[in-house]
């Protein structure tokens, strides 16, 4: 009986990670002046469903910092301590303010820095509760009216956005709707290619 030839999987693209359809040439280069910092839970670095990487791929002022309970990222702490920066945590609380209020509350010459908690909702709560330096920062809530289009994880709570959608909403609320549209289009393409790639084929 002849041996069945095993089908070898193509190597994934080192940039976008997809095996069957590289989308690197679709990545928009968004020259926005909004400052974002992704405070990423260590678990997110091993999840292929993480969408924070879409923000770092597209936005020119978006940096990633790893959250660790006992070792705060010194680079981010130094940035927060800069008198020219006013940092805000994107996290809804009883005292949180809107994005527009964050811009107006920043002192003259200060640049608002929006820190996005990159992880599951449960991990985001832990990051706030276990980090005194983080919980002491003023918080910002988003005016979320639309339903999340994120479909790569199960059991998502209603009203919660994924990391990429949070970045897009921040762009909208800061007046950069054209940049948000570019990001949304790329996000939609990414999700469709992700599903096709998991099924072993390119997007038809």
Asked if 165 contacts 148 with a C-beta cutoff of 8 angstroms, the reply is yes
Closest to 172 (Cα-Cα) out of 34, 3, 59: 34
pLDDT score of 159 more than 80: no
Sequence-ordered list of residues with C-beta below 8 angstroms from that of 152, at least 6 positions apart, any chain: 49, 51, 162, 191, 194
- Residue 107, pLDDT above cutoff 80: no
User: Mean pLDDT for the chain?
Assistant: 88
Give the percent of the chain with pLDDT over 90.
65
Q: Which residues pair with 113 in a beta bridge?
A: 35, 87
Quick one: average pLDDT of 170-177? 93
How much is the pLDDT for 199? 87
CA 196 to chain centre: 22
**H helix or E strand, kind and range, residue 193:** helix 177-198
Please state, as a whole number, how many other Cβ atoms lie within 10 Å of the Cβ of residue 76: 22
Model confidence at 138: pLDDT above 90: yes
pLDDT over threshold 70, residue 27? yes
Give the list of residues 6+ apart from residue 155 with CB closer than 8 angstroms, or none. none
3-state secondary structure of 153: coil
Please give the order of strands across the beta sheet that includes 62-67: 62-67, 35-41, 111-118, 85-90, 139-140
Per-residue pLDDT, 21:
92
- With cut-offs at 50, 70 and 90, classify the pLDDT of residue 91: very high
Categorize the per-residue pLDDT at 76 as very low, low, confident or very high, splitting at 50, 70 and 90: very high
**Residue 77 token pair:** 């702490």
Question: Which among 140, 125, 151, 127 has a CA at the least distance from the CA of 68?
Answer: 127
Predicted TM-score (pTM) of the model is 0.88
């Amino acid at each position: 009986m002849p041996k069945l030839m095993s089908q070898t999987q193509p190597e994934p693209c080192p940039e976008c990670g997809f095996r069957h359809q590289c989308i690197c040439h679709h990545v928009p280069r968004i020259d926005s002046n909004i400052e974002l910092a992704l405070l990423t839970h260590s678990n997110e670095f091993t999840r292929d469903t993480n969408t924070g990487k879409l923000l770092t791929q597209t936005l020119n002022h978006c940096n990633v910092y790893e959250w660790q309970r006992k070792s705060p990222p010194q680079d981010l702490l130094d940035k927060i301590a800069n008198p020219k920066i006013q940092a805000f945590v994107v996290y809804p609380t009883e005292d949180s303010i809107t994005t527009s209020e964050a811009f107006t509350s920043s002192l003259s010459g200060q640049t608002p820095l929006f820190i996005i908690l990159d992880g599951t909702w449960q991990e985001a709560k832990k990051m706030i509760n276990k980090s005194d330096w983080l919980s002491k920062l003023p918080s910002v809530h988003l005016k979320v009216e639309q339903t999340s289009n994120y479909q790569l994880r199960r059991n998502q709570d209603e009203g919660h956005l994924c990391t990429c959608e949070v970045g897009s909403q921040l762009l909208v609320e800061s007046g950069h709707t054209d940049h948000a549209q570019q990001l949304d289009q790329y996000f939609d393409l990414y999700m469709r290619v992700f599903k096709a790639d998991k099924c072993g084929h390119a997007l038809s």
